[in-house]
Amino acid sequence: MERYFTKAPGFTAQRERFIEAVRVAGAALTEFQHPMRGPRGELLATDVALIGDPLAPKRFIVLSGTHGIEGYYGSESQITLLHSLQKRVLPADVCVVMVHLINPWGTAWLRRVNEDNVDLNRNYLAFDKPLLDNAHYEAFHEIYLCRDLDGPSRRRADERLATEIERLGLATVMSIVEAGQYAHADGIFFGGQHATWSNRTLRAIAKRFMEGAHTAMCFDLHTGAGAFGHAMLMAVAQETYPALGTSRSIFGPWLYTVMTGPAATTDSGIAATATGYTSQALLDSLPGVDLMQLVIECGTYDSARGHSALRDDHWLHLYGDPEDATGRRIKAALAEHFYPADRDWRELTQLRTRQIFERGLAALQAS
């Protein structure tokens, strides 16, 4: 594993940058160690940084790495915010909570999913209740099990996917596949059959660092959907709730709302048909908190390219070797899709993320 992963974005280097920013900002740090190791044998953990009074009635919360590989953008956004906070004094009634890399395994191994091949943003469910039965996915499942990356069987799988896209349209196919499924652990967009380590850890973090607040604003940071370089502010929920109106009045036209449900649609690039989102989990876990639950989603390349990168990475997970030439090419394409090397992309997304944070923090302070 060593050769490729020493050149790729790295978990430990990213984590050390975050911890150093936490130290300089004078924040308190709590570590939640993950049971598994990274590709370099490194320790994996989710870290929580706290600036201010942990019992403060207002909490400003930033969460990174729900989708592991997207955590490089998320971590950089948190580091930038820490640098900016270090230069000022927060009001006594505001506490900033940063949850750094909630899916550390995915960040380290350059996967969107976690150690169980689970899409964490489909996993926040009550597993003692019936799960989403995505019957339409069944027709697609075999496409994602194809043993070959090229050759006749791959061409047949490609043709099947192309036929379905022609018949139903790309948006419909993606809404079926990306809705998530709970039947096939070897499938794509698998939501899991139990609460994963990251799910349990986030719930523990919410209980310890978010509960007890009167008002909170929380950002879950993502990349990979939307227009290149555009950081879109979203609210994602199954139903409307009082603080959504407050978010709308604070952010006005910046805010794009996605109501999720079995027949819901959106042109935002995320799956409105999915269940088990982080946003809904936090809203459900913090009933006593007036919570403005938000998402920032930074657009990169188009969705067909993204799907192809995810499909190849799924093949690599099932049958390949991330260290050989093919594996390295797939990992490089995936990293580029979720964290483009383009300097302007990085500058634009950081600028916009900072603007959103500043407006939110100012509104929370004034509330």
- List of residues contacting Zn ion (CB under 5 A): 67, 70, 222
> Of the two residues 225 and 289, which places its CB atom closer to Zn ion in the complex?
225
Q: Which residues contact 194 (CB under 8 A, 6 or more apart)?
A: 127
Helix (H) or strand (E) run with residue 354 in it: helix 343-366
> Of the two residues 117 and 215, which places its CB atom closer to Zn ion in the complex?
117
* DSSP-based three-state secondary structure for 170: helix
CB of 115 to Zn ion, least distance (A): 17
CB of 270 to Zn ion, least distance (A): 8
> Of the two residues 246 and 260, which places its CB atom closer to Zn ion in the complex?
260
> Of the two residues 67 and 328, which places its CB atom closer to Zn ion in the complex?
67
Contact between residue 38 and residue 111 where contact means Cβ atoms under 8 Å apart: no
CA–CA dist 334, 323 (Å, integer): 14
CB of 310 to Zn ion, least distance (A): 11
> Of the two residues 70 and 164, which places its CB atom closer to Zn ion in the complex?
70
CB of 218 to Zn ion, least distance (A): 15
CB of 70 to Zn ion, least distance (A): 5
- Read off φ and ψ for residue 120, nearest 5 degrees: -60, -30
**Torsion-angle region of 183 (φ positive above 0: left; ψ -120 to 50: alpha; else: beta):** alpha
> Of the two residues 222 and 328, which places its CB atom closer to Zn ion in the complex?
222
CB of 222 to Zn ion, least distance (A): 3
Nearest CA to 229 among 49, 73, 50, 23?
73
> Of the two residues 106 and 360, which places its CB atom closer to Zn ion in the complex?
106
> Of the two residues 15 and 67, which places its CB atom closer to Zn ion in the complex?
67
Residue nearest to Zn ion (CB): 222
> Of the two residues 67 and 331, which places its CB atom closer to Zn ion in the complex?
67
Q: In this structure, what token pair is assigned to residue 199? A: 């799910």
CB of 38 to Zn ion, least distance (A): 20
- Read off φ and ψ for residue 183, nearest 5 degrees: -100, -25
> Of the two residues 70 and 312, which places its CB atom closer to Zn ion in the complex?
70
List Cα–Cα distances, 364 to 172, 270, 315, in angstroms: 38, 27, 45
Dihedral sign from CA coordinates of 326, 327, 330, 331: negative
**Helix ranges, 147-262 (H):** 152-168, 170-177, 197-209, 242-251
In this structure, the strands spanning 215-223 and 43-51 are unpaired
CB of 17 to Zn ion, least distance (A): 21
- Read off φ and ψ for residue 101, nearest 5 degrees: 60, 75
CA–CA dist 221, 331 (Å, integer): 21
Contact between residue 67 and residue 106 where contact means Cβ atoms under 8 Å apart: yes
CB of 89 to Zn ion, least distance (A): 33
Q: Which residues contact 357 (CB under 8 A, 6 or more apart)?
A: 62, 77, 81, 219
CA–CA dist 266, 125 (Å, integer): 22
CB of 81 to Zn ion, least distance (A): 19
